[in-house]
Amino acid sequence: MSAMIEIRGLKKYFGPIRAVEDVSFDVARGEVLGFLGPNGAGKSTTMKMITGFLAPSAGTARVCGFDVEADPIEAKKRIGYLPEGAPAYPDMTAASFLDFVAAIRGFDGAERAKRVAKAVERTQLADILNQPIDTLSKGFKRRVGLAQALLHEPEVLILDEPTDGLDPNQKHEVRSLIRSMAAEKAIVISTHILEEVDAICSRAVVIARGRVLADGTPESYEKRSRWHHAVSFVVPTADIGRLRSALAAHPDVGDFERTDGEGGLAMLTAMPKAGKPMLAELGTLARGTGIRIDEIREERGRLDEVFRNITTGPVSAGGTN
Q: Round to whole Å and give the CA distance between 71 and 56.
A: 14
CB of 158 to other proteins, least distance (A): 9
Is 62 an interacting residue with respect to other proteins (CB under 8 A)?
Answer: no
Residue selected from 7, 10, 54, 189 as contacting other proteins according to rule CB under 8 A: 54
Stretch of 58-66, 93-101, 174-182, 267-275 lying at the interface with other proteins (CB under 8 A) = 93-101
Stretch of 91-99, 123-131, 208-216, 274-282 lying at the interface with other proteins (CB under 8 A) = 91-99
Residues 6+ apart with CB under 8 A from 125: 94, 119, 140, 143, 144, 147
Burial 227-239 (b: 16+ CB within 10 A, else e): bbbbbbbbbeeeb
Largest Cα separation within the chain, whole Å, is 76
Q: Considering CB under 8 A, how many residues would be counted as binding other proteins?
A: 36
Is 88 an interacting residue with respect to other proteins (CB under 8 A)?
Answer: yes
Site for other proteins in 118-147 (CB under 8 A): 132, 145
Stretch of 58-66, 97-105, 260-268, 313-321 lying at the interface with other proteins (CB under 8 A) = 97-105
Q: Check: CB of residue 241 under 8 Å from CB of residue 289.
A: no
Is 79 an interacting residue with respect to other proteins (CB under 8 A)?
Answer: yes
Beta strands 295-298 and 231-236: pairing type?
A: antiparallel
Residues 256-264: contacts with CB under 8 Å, at least 24 apart: 257/319, 257/320, 257/321, 258/319, 259/320, 259/321, 261/234, 264/236, 264/237, 264/238
Is 151 an interacting residue with respect to other proteins (CB under 8 A)?
Answer: no
Sign of the four-CA dihedral 215, 216, 218, 224: negative
Is 225 an interacting residue with respect to other proteins (CB under 8 A)?
Answer: no
Stretch of 92-100, 165-173, 256-264, 313-321 lying at the interface with other proteins (CB under 8 A) = 92-100
Is 83 an interacting residue with respect to other proteins (CB under 8 A)?
Answer: yes
Q: Which is nearer to other proteins, 7 or 199 (CB)?
A: 7
| Alpha helix positions (H), the chain | 43-50, 72-77, 94-104, 109-123, 138-150, 168-181, 194-200, 218-224, 240-247, 279-288, 303-312
Stretch of 44-52, 113-121, 207-215, 290-298 lying at the interface with other proteins (CB under 8 A) = 44-52
Is 11 an interacting residue with respect to other proteins (CB under 8 A)?
Answer: no
Is 256 an interacting residue with respect to other proteins (CB under 8 A)?
Answer: no
Q: Round to whole Å and give the CA distance between 182 and 69.
A: 26
Q: Round to whole Å and give the CA distance between 117 and 115.
A: 5
Q: Round to whole Å and give the CA distance between 4 and 62.
A: 8
Is 275 an interacting residue with respect to other proteins (CB under 8 A)?
Answer: no
Residue selected from 40, 65, 70, 103 as contacting other proteins according to rule CB under 8 A: 103
Is 90 an interacting residue with respect to other proteins (CB under 8 A)?
Answer: yes
Residue selected from 9, 40, 65, 87 as contacting other proteins according to rule CB under 8 A: 87
Residues 6+ apart with CB under 8 A from 73: none
Is 104 an interacting residue with respect to other proteins (CB under 8 A)?
Answer: yes
Residues that bind other proteins (CB under 8 A): 12-14, 48, 51-55, 57, 72-74, 76-77, 79, 81, 83-85, 87-92, 96, 100-101, 103-106, 132, 145, 148
